[in-house]
Amino acid sequence: MKQKVDWIIHCCENGACDECGRVETNFLPYTCNAHTHGMERYEHMDFQMVLHLGHREIMRILNTLGLRVQAGERFKDGDMVAGIYEDCNIRLTKYIETGRWVLRVIIPDKYNVFPEDDHCMETYRLQLLKTDALCPSDRFWV
């Protein structure tokens, strides 16, 4: 049976919103607040990604995780997840996104170093920021 994506992905980011035309400029460079809505259907937390790796990659990762939940897999805070990248695991860490808990995808840098390590590349360290801190003067989350 073919699996069907029955959740949505929001990507709050710098630039003009397709729907309202409002222009967002407050996100720190290389960050966004991309997240799913609808995983509660599977009694599961939604997922979030805050590194702006491009829409295709964000969709690929969030949808891959969603499809795995749909197929019966369950993820929790602190899990290391294989199968997203060939050469490294990602980690899922609980964060608050617009008043709810989500599992944030934490991606190690190209040397496979995770953000809490001082040697991690600067951009990847931004993944440790609270959701609000990614977009400092913005209070307009969808």
Q: Which residue's CB is nearer to Zn ion, number 97 or number 109?
A: 97
Whole-number Å distance between alpha carbons of 22 and 45:
29
Q: Which residue's CB is nearer to Zn ion, number 10 or number 68?
A: 10
Q: How remote is the C-alpha of 13 from its chain's centroid?
A: 12
Q: Which of 5, 9, 10, 123 touches Zn ion by CB under 5 A?
A: 10
The C-alpha angle with vertex 33 and arms to 32 and 39, in degrees rounded to 5, equals: 145
Using rule CB under 5 A, residue 142 touches Zn ion: yes
Minimal CB distance to Zn ion: which residue?
A: 10
Q: Which residue's CB is nearer to Zn ion, number 19 or number 118?
A: 19
Residues that bind Zn ion (CB under 5 A): 10, 142
